[in-house]
Structure 1
């Protein structure tokens, strides 16, 4: 195999950095810098070309004579090892006589990646400097890079917008003072429970003696009491229960899956006990308690939200009428002798 170097090689390296020069036996005697980069760490020089690349079209004998017969034709090839990237090529058969651009009887094959260029850039770590200055591949790479940058910017913008939307939705469903859910969130959860026909308990809690805290210590003390009450209620409920502040000192609890009266009574008793612990404000004790009215969706043949809210409210005022700091589970008998509505 001749190691002779031809002056044309330097010219080919610049104009066709993906070329290979074959000698008369079909072995690679020279390769452009980009092709060498593609074969980095793999044998190339001295290898038989048809053993490192598969000629897929045209279908000819896998010999040097077969290759030379493809003079000027468009070749479809694929690397045989590693990343089996598809390539396009054109072959120029060199004269058999005196040397010209390369070994007599040899050939020059100029290769390109065609539509596989994006994958090739990624797989072989190529960049714009690996292609001829006039190659449209460079323009395409710039467009791909610009598109990728634009898509990344769009992705980040969408993430920010999504975050802002989630934050806005969360804010729309949250009571700003206590961090609990608000009436809008309560309505949303109740509607979902009704649609899915899931049983739940509805508990209406109203603070006792809260007005006295506001009147004697001011609204800042009242706000601190409300925030403390919110934390205590959350501590006594499950993560999937909904606790909403629906008015000044009014709270609604939605307890999904609760159907037993004894279980509901136990939860209400625990809540009332924890609310009776005093709240300290500027060294002074703020004492409140809680009255609770509740109803169970399973107690209705066909649950109706408006009726359930009305019944839990009726049970709440019955608890107020019985001396506060107690709970009442709705009973139809309450409608026969409805309690008077108290104010605190």
Structure 2
């Protein structure tokens, strides 16, 4: 039996139809727009009433349109607004009973997020029963959550990096600390890279603390840190390893000459008085150094022990000088001592 026998005729006012289908088009037989849903009017503009469908939309399916019923026969419609930003639609058309007119219902399909963004749409622009709003809100909620997670991850990485930097940094001078020195030493030894190890200890620093106070001593340490940082290359590492002791690691040095030159510059600069609250702080420095290339099998404990011995050789010989210790392996070459002069 024909199902139409069980379907009574009914009429919907445009307002009621717009509530059910906010993006409908009512076309006459010549494809002129007689009415449209409120959301579609928002996108097209109210001046399209009476305009030819093909003047408002570029049709992709059906590609050719002669009569409004061609839309109904196409089953599925594809079209884009001609005005920017060229929003795309999918839809379906049905013929109206007793007339040669058609009713077209459009949707955004997968491009709903872009359409909402481009046209500033809200939930009131969609039918209350349209699941696309729930899906859109879920997508937006997911994007918001993912955005917050990304921000949290960035904050955690930043906090971790800051904690790692703090763990390797001397709080007073801003130089690297003993832990950083030990890490750098291990990396260079593991890679087989040659380097110079330089140990510097301040002379007469205790007198500054005793006579001018610890504030003056802290000022001197900070200023010495600046002198050392300014005297070395970008690839070198300057560390404060405790009290008034500093260790420098200078990669790719195999000859004592540049070490002596560096030591002379540092000793000359450190001899100049440091002013603290208008009062001069006078100190000096003693320096010891070793070259990893002088060792057939350089090891951290041996290098640190020998550079410490070189430092105290400088102090024993009268301070204010640099000693480069040349070990017995290869055969002894003795210690090379130089002063600021």
TM-score range for the pair, normalised by the shorter chain length: 0.7 to 0.9
Supply the distance in 1 between the matched residues of 2:66 and 2:298 (Cα, whole angstroms): 85
Deviation at 1:227, TM superposition (A): 1.9
Q: What is the match of residue 14 of structure 2?
A: 9
Q: What is the match of residue 230 of structure 1?
A: 225
Question: Are the counterparts in 1 of residues 199 and 289 from structure 2 also a CA contact under 8 Å?
Answer: yes
Q: Are residues 83 and 259 of structure 1, via their aligned partners in 2, closer, same or farther at CA, if it must alter by over 3 Å?
A: farther
Q: Deviations over 1:308-344 (max 9, x none)?
A: 22332222222222211111222125997999xxxxx
Deviation at 1:271, TM superposition (A): 0.8
Residue 51 of structure 2 corresponds to residue 46 of structure 1: yes
RMSD between aligned residues? 3.2
Supply the distance in 1 between the matched residues of 2:122 and 2:166 (Cα, whole angstroms): 48
Supply the distance in 1 between the matched residues of 2:186 and 2:42 (Cα, whole angstroms): 64
Q: Indicate the SS of the match to 2:151.
A: helix
Residue 197 of structure 2 corresponds to residue 202 of structure 1: yes
Supply the distance in 2 between the matched residues of 1:60 and 1:279 (Cα, whole angstroms): 87
Q: Deviations over 1:111-136 (max 9, x none)?
A: 11233211221233322222123322
Supply the distance in 2 between the matched residues of 1:263 and 1:337 (Cα, whole angstroms): 18
Q: Indicate the SS of the match to 2:242.
A: coil
Q: Indicate the SS of the match to 2:118.
A: helix
**Does 214-223 or 201-210 show the bigger shift?**
214-223
**Does 273-282 or 171-180 show the bigger shift?**
273-282
Deviation at 1:182, TM superposition (A): 0.6
Deviation at 1:66, TM superposition (A): 2.7
Q: Deviations over 1:68-111 (max 9, x none)?
A: 324xx4x252427555655332222113x4xxxxxx31111111
Q: Indicate the SS of the match to 2:93.
A: strand
Using structure 1 for the length normalisation, give the TM-score: 0.80
Unmatched segments (≥5 aa) in structure 2: 1-10, 336-341
Q: What is the match of residue 91 of structure 1?
A: 93
User: Pairwise mapping of residues 1-344 of structure 1 onto structure 2 (< 5 A)?
Assistant: 8-39=13-44, 46-49=51-54, 52-56=57-61, 62-64=65-67, 65-70=69-74, 73=75, 75-79=76-80, 81=82, 83=85, 86-95=88-97, 97=98, 104-332=99-327
Supply the distance in 2 between the matched residues of 1:55 and 1:194 (Cα, whole angstroms): 69
Question: Are the counterparts in 2 of residues 23 and 106 from structure 1 also a CA contact under 8 Å?
Answer: yes
Deviation at 1:299, TM superposition (A): 3.6
Deviation at 1:181, TM superposition (A): 0.9
Unmatched segments (≥5 aa) in structure 1: 1-5, 98-103, 340-344
Q: Are residues 24 and 184 of structure 1, via their aligned partners in 2, closer, same or farther at CA, if it must alter by over 3 Å?
A: same
Q: Are residues 190 and 238 of structure 1, via their aligned partners in 2, closer, same or farther at CA, if it must alter by over 3 Å?
A: same
Supply the distance in 2 between the matched residues of 1:114 and 1:201 (Cα, whole angstroms): 68
Q: Are residues 190 and 30 of structure 1, via their aligned partners in 2, closer, same or farther at CA, if it must alter by over 3 Å?
A: farther
Q: Are residues 110 and 331 of structure 1, via their aligned partners in 2, closer, same or farther at CA, if it must alter by over 3 Å?
A: same
